[in-house]
Amino acid sequence: MEGFTPVSALVGGALIGFAASLLLHFNGRVAGVSGILGGLLPPSVEDRGWRIAFLVGLPIGAFVWGTFAGQPSFEVPVSTPVLLVGGVVTGLGVRWARGCTSGHGVCGLARLSMRSFVATLTFLAAAFLTVFFVRHAAGA
């Protein structure tokens, strides 16, 4: 993979873990992005503010990082309909697993949750199989 540096990966992972720890410590909430977004769908007055602040902060943080560190360059070699189908399938999987990679993989594993361990292994296995199928079996 081009542009990968262990230092930036370590710093980024530490920052994600630190931010997730702060949210858990001060709010008693797990930093699972799908759960935070899903909690806005049937609005609850008492916790709407922190959810909106968290979700608005995600693209702002990416923008600030990109401004100072430069934008990464990448190419998505699939059509928009394929991306949309992939998004819907991912959303269904997140609901079925009762959480996303951030909730299970970052927060759940840190809390030694067996359910999160199984979910994370399932996410990784599905990713490995998808890459194998798309790159090797399907000849892409």
Contact 76, 88 (CB under 8 A): no
Domain segments of the chain: what residues?
6-137
Q: Per-residue confidence of the chain (140 residues) as pLDDT tens digits?
A: 466 778 888 888 898 889 889 988 998 888 888 888 888 887 666 788 888 999 999 999 888 988 888 777 778 788 889 889 988 888 888 888 888 888 888 888 888 999 999 989 998 998 899 888 888 876 65
Phi-psi bin for 99: left (phi > 0), alpha (psi -120 to 50), beta?
left
pLDDT of residue 131: 85
Q: How far is 82 from 66, CA to CA, in rounded Å? A: 27
For residue 108, give Cα distances in angstroms to 25, 30, 115, 140.
14, 8, 8, 34
Distance, CA of 133 to CA of 73 (rounded, Å) = 25
